[in-house]
Each structure stands twice: as structure tokens, then as C-alpha cells.
Amino acid sequence: DARDRVLKAIERLGWHPNAVARSMRTATTRTIGCIVPDIRNPLFAGIVKGAEEVLSDRGYTLMVGSSDEKPLQDRKLINLFLQRRTDGLLLAPTDDMDPQTQADIRDIGVPTVLMERGLPTNLDSVASDQSNGIQSAVNYLFWLGHERIALVTGSRRNRAGRERPRGFLRAFETAGRRVEPALLRLESFSADYAY
């Protein structure tokens, strides 16, 4: 009976719980931080959309930060999300070889999942098979009869930028073909650079 009266009063008054007060009592914010190098990248846009849907269904909010492919911005966003007491992080740091970024990630202290990155940590990670994927794509282009194939991809300062050229070169080597060095562009994942 008391529960029904409280629920009716809540409805009549339009009352909503205070998330800040609740987070102080439970020591959780029901918030997950997500840091990606460039939100315009279709890969990361899709990951963010999927994560947001799953988290929302479970009562969490996703906060997204884009580092604009700058390691210093990655570190600033990590600290910002930790200051805001996020309950966990999804991370795709721009430079997974940067010693300071590695140190910051090692010391995070909240559940963290790395996305498409290869850091020397014991954190959970989700990654696609970049090397074999590119090799399969190049083999398909060979099968279609293409001769001059270019690879435009990001810096070798992260896992994808290291693995894609490896698969690309392996496809050429396996096919007994020569790679034209001018057709390897390994500096940025941005659409502007690719153009």
C-alpha cells in the first residue's frame, strides 16, 4: 500500500531521481567513457553507436571524446573521464606505442576495454584481424585483374597501422608481385589524408 502511494505521488509530482545524489550513495555514476581518435571514422562511429545501444539498455550513459589523433588529447580525455568518476572506459588511443599513454592506461583503475589497439597490458581488448583482412582484400583485387594497388592507412604508431602494411606486403610477396613504394601511404587514417 505504501509503495503504491509513493508511486502515485511520484507520477503526480513528476519527480525524477537525482543521479548525482544516487552516484554519491552507490559510488557509481552509471557512465562509461569512450575515447576514439576520430569520431568521423566510420569504424569508430559504428562502435560508438553499438556501445551506446547496449549500454543504454542496461541503464548506462556513454560519454564520447574524440582525440583528433593527438596522443596528448588521449591522455587529457582519460584524466577527464576518471575525474568524472566514469565506471569504465572504452579506449582506442591514437598512439599505442607512446610511453606516457601506456603508463596512463596501466594506471587507469577502472574496468577498461581497448578497441583495435595493441598495448602491452593485461586489459581486455577487441580487435579485428587487420593483417589477414588486408591480405584478403588485395588478393581479391588481384583476382579481379587489378595491377596497381595502393594502401592508404594510418601511422605505425598503432596496431592497425602496423598490421595493415604487413598483410598488404604479404599479399604481394605471395603473388610474386612487386610493390610500388609510391603507392604506400602510411601516415593518417583521416579521409582528408586519403583524398
Q: What is the pLDDT of residue 136?
A: 98
Cell of 161: 597501422
**pLDDT less than 70: residues of the chain:** 15-28, 120-121
The residue whose grid cell reads 588486408 is 134
pLDDT in tens, 152-166: 998 888 888 899 999
Q: What is the pLDDT of residue 55?
A: 95
Q: Report pTM.
A: 0.78
Q: What is the pLDDT of residue 124?
A: 85
Residue 87: DSSP 8-state: S
b/e map 35-74, b = 16+ CB within 10 Å: bbbbeebebbeebbeebbeebeeeebebbbbbbebebebb
Check the CA dihedral 143-147-153-159 and report its sign: positive
Cell of 2: 505504501
First CA to last CA distance, the chain: 67
